[in-house]
Copies of this chain bind each other. A is one copy, B any other.
């Protein structure tokens, strides 16, 4: 099933609840910074499991303790509930 792209107002409402996430180039975007690579990669591993389980994978860039994440749903041509859910999981796992 292809999820519908979120409407601007729905997206706005979600963003208000997603600490640190913005929309950049049409994707949900956040930059994380950790105390060390050890902590950054543990976080990535947890989210790798979430991603595979959802069948929904991020675009992510890591160097040392920094991790930049962009989320979009290709089949839907934009940001969907799956991206919002993934972002919520990321925030929850980073605290």
A→B interface (CB under 8 Å): 37-39, 41-46, 48-53, 55, 57-64, 93
A45-B42, A46-B42, A93-B42 are known contacts. Are A37 and B61 too (CB-CB below 8 A)?
no
Q: 14 more A-B contacts (CB under 8 A) besides A37-B48, A37-B57, A39-B46?
A: A38-B93, A41-B52, A42-B42, A42-B43, A42-B93, A44-B45, A45-B45, A49-B52, A49-B53, A50-B52, A53-B53, A57-B64, A60-B61, A61-B61
Q: Which residues does chain B contribute within 8 Å of A55, judged by CB atoms?
A: 53
The number of times this chain is found in the oligomer is: 4
Compute how far the CA of A60 lies from the CA of B37 in the bound complex, rounded to whole angstroms.
13
Do B41 and A46 touch across chains, with their CB atoms under 8 A apart?
Answer: yes
Top 7 nearest A-B pairs (CB, nearest first) are A42-B46, A45-B45, A49-B52, A59-B63, A42-B42, A61-B61, A52-B53
Minimum C-beta distance from A65 to chain B (A): 9
